[in-house]
Structure 1
Amino acid sequence: MEIEYLISILEKRLKNPLPGKEAHFQMAPTPVDMRRFDPKLPENHRKSGVLILFYPEEGKAYFPLIKRPDYPGVHGGQIALPGGKMEELDEDLIQTALREAEEEIGVSRSQVRVIGQMSPLFIPTSNFLVNPVVGFVLEKPQMKPEEKEVQRIIETPVSRIFASEFRRRKILELGSGIKLDTPYFEIDGEMVWGATAMILSELIHLLAEE
């Protein structure tokens, strides 16, 4: 998909009602943790912003994913979108996403043109409400992983998340005997699942409508 066409679609679709829960469900591990979709969130929930950053590569649209380093915690070693928690000095969640992306992959926030935001998604295990921000740059940026927070950057063609051969399922065995039937995207040898896959599912819905 060419980036100019992709941007034109998203500029239009992000002004309309979003699929949200319908799209998220399609890539949600089962049994589904319905706390994700409870309109009443915990009072102590934390806000975060992630950035879906589109850029051109040989005329096609790409976006970066990152692999977190292995560390104690629910998200260690997982594939994610650049982003993190909202800080007191952030004006809003758009600024959170831009700041975190600049810190984690080295793309200056001043270069990014923001199109809009997708549906927020609550992650019960970490108590974060994740707000996906959509933006683009017109030239491929020079990206550099922040050593402490990013193990590697995965440059991902948008076409990859539409291809059926890269959609898989497996049983994930977590602690305390928990087993999840988990849909995921296989991208560059990595398993993209959970909240990141659910956010990408909404992106697919938005683009597929065209």
Structure 2
Amino acid sequence: LSVKCSSVSGISGVDETHVFISSGENVSLPCNNALPDCNSTTWNYNRFRDSAAVELIALGIKKKDTESHERLSLGSDCSLNINNITTEDYGSYICQQWTGVNRNQKLGSDARVYLHVLHVSSSQTEISAGLSVTLFCQLYSYPRGSCGDLIRSEGIQLFWVNQTGVKLTRSDSRYQISSSSDYCIITLNTTLLNEDDNREWRCEVTQRDQVKTSVTYTVKSSGEKTSHQSVC
């Protein structure tokens, strides 16, 4: 199997932005309250609602004591650039501006970015006709509630579609589609046929009926181990 990811997409509010990305991609998180001089910019990160904030950028300088520091950089517009996104990168990112003689006065309100990471994995590492395969598609999101709460508040949904873009449903006898009520996970199970070689299935995340990002799996029935190739 090979995986192909889509481009990033975001939805912005006054001080809040939602960014959707597929694992393996690079992303730039906007700082909507940035001043011309990034020396006043600080970026903090929370993966969980009750976890302590981790300082990633302090007054324009990257912190070297974080797990992800080698993948981080500060853009010329004070955006936070993250390379090779993983499922560990989802969460809440907060951009702040600190001014004053000692840079101890916070200017204005926080600019918060919620990073949602889409990831697909397979139950099989060996692919051949006649085998049953299950594809797991999960949206990793900052836990402000259950997946149901996220769907209701932000209009977010997950779908599997075929290579012509037709949504796969539970009424299709060839595929078993199931979803989790607690987490944003949708699975596709099917038995592979000879004609499935090079067939594509795509997991899409939509917000209010607009596709935000997707991951495509392509069947390679060669008997070799699954290869994951990110093409963005």
TM-score interval for Structure 1 and Structure 2 normalised by the shorter chain = under 0.3
**Structure 1 or 2: larger helix share?**
1
**Structure 1 or 2: larger strand share?**
2
TM-score (norm 1): 0.26
